[in-house]
Amino acid sequence: MKRFQAISNWQQTVHVLNRQRHARFSYKSSPLPLSKLKTLDHTKAASPSLTHARRQLTDSRSLSSSSTATTTSLPFKKYSLPRKGAMNGSDGKKRTAYIALGSNLGDRIAWIEKACNEMDARGIKVKRTSSLWETEPMYVLDQDRFVNGACEVETTLEPLELLDALQDIENSLGRKKVIDKGPRNIDLDILLYEDLKINHPRLTIPHIGIPEREFVLKPLTELIPDKPIDHARPWTLCRDYLDALAPSNPPLTTMTPLSSHHPPIQALNSNRKTHVMAILNMTPDSFSDGGQNTTVDESHLLSTIQSFLSAGATMIDIGGQSTAPNAPEVSVETELSRVLPAIKLIRTHFASQPILISVDTYRASVAEAAVAAGADIVNDVSGGSMDPAMLPTVARLGTTICLMHMRGTPATMNSLAEYPEGLIPGIAKELVSRVAAAEEAGIRRWRIVLDPGLGFAKVGPQNVDVLRHLDELRHWPGLQGLPWLVGSSRKTFIGRITGVPTPKERIWGTAATVAAAVQGGADVVRVHDVREMSQVVVMADAIWRY
């Protein structure tokens, strides 16, 4: 009889526990963290029989099927209940989550960037971002194409708190949900949170749509290719889910914004057009055209700029500090006095034309002043390594940066051209580290362009090898999907191969390198002879971009 009574008491206790747990999981409007759902530990005066029943209930769960176990083995029990009114998670511990980013209304990239900035402002630190991918709509097909991405965040918020914060960001940015999976200016979804598996009326983690959505798996695989999504299936990695999907037709492409007045680069679009970047040196000592634009009147400079545009240039790269080997370093004031008037001149006299302006500098203060004057892109030959303030400054400005591969400084680079691991692996690994440094500083991945750095810590035939293997660099792990700029114009290696000592006469050798760059996948070619190279690019695009 006592045994029967004990079993009866245990069953009643289990029934009470299950009812209370069910009631907690069914409270749809609760803004409280999932830790509040986890336990009855606040019942400090629990009887021995209740403790025993709780232990037996836990044991019985562990013996159930794997699907039931993942639903009812509550991993949120590791989190304690936050203090009443606390804004952060229960214990202040930093946790990692992955958030999906999407938009298909208005300036889609701008909405996503605003959402990321809002997360940062609210203490949800965006640690890394994927590329942005343009995708066709899914489920509701009669709507514009989406821009999708993902980000890795660090947060002290627990899952439901994080969900509340993301929904509040959506609301603050004016999102209005008309129909489910319909048009929206911003969409933020929690994909993963630590290793948790959560089934709650307001939140399912891992996100239920991950395995079937290429537009989610593409960016997520950029961030965590070797991480399992479902920890009940640890052998199936994120990349495996992506490989199991039939690829989109046409394939998805990344998007790199350049400015609000020009379309983004789509580096994986096979029929994209190559940008021609015209070089506007405002220095007296550049190796090729030094002094050409420094001692003439404004009308001559305007004529030069107009000739660039008429010849087919879509970008103008303005530099005030020569980076030729052993060139003397000028003061910040001197560099600013050279580049700012040229930028302002373009913005004043060509305001109606969608000209992209790049500033060629490795100084953060020059980059910031140039962007304030109207520059769109920062082109840093040092990849952000010569001025420790450069990457944080560009992150704060929210502009696109070109990270070039270089070793040392312009004065020392030619003595640093040995690559024991091989030229291409050496360049690739060092660029991967610069991309990581940019992301660590807060630069979004979709704001990065790469440059292999011809003539910088590369001598003679090494430059030809880079052109031969540009496509290999484009597909190097950690660099895929990023656009590339190639600057070969009039360089010394061309003169040595062709036997043409005068830089201005190296037009035909330059033409061959520009064609090779297009074939290898370059998105931008940086040139002096704009009219001639624009023709080369048009022809090369017709051959290789289809």
Q: Active-site residues: which are they?
A: 491, 526
CA distances, 443 to each of 3, 172, 275, 380, 399 (Å)? 67, 23, 23, 14, 9
Q: How many CB atoms lie within 10 A of CB 304?
A: 17
Closest CA to 263 of 382, 429, 107: 107
Secondary structure (3-state) at 127: strand
- Burial of residue 66 (CB within 10 Å: 0-12, 13-18, 19+) is exposed
Query: Strand locations in 183-258, DSSP E?
Result: 187-193, 198-200, 203-205, 253-255
Q: Are strands 95-103 and 315-319 parallel, antiparallel or unpaired?
A: unpaired
Region of 302 on the Ramachandran plot (φ > 0 left; ψ -120 to 50 alpha; else beta): alpha
**C-alpha 65: how far from its chain's center?**
40
H runs (alpha helix) in 198-320: 214-223, 238-244, 298-311
Q: Which among 277, 278, 261, 271 has a CA at the least distance from the CA of 485? A: 277
Give CA–CA dist 185/193, Å, rounded: 24
* Among the listed residues 269, 276, 230, 277, the one whose alpha carbon sits nearest the alpha carbon of residue 248: 269
Q: Computed over its alpha carbons, how large is the radius of gyration of the chain?
A: 28
b/e map 409-426, b = 16+ CB within 10 Å: bbeebbeebebeeebbeb
Please say whether the beta carbons of 256 and 483 come within 8 A. yes
Task: Give alpha helix (H) positions in 63-207.
Answer: 66-72, 108-121, 159-172
Angle at 403 between CA 400 and CA 406, to 5 degrees: 165
For the CA atoms of 531, 535, 536, 540, what is the dihedral angle to 10 degrees? 150
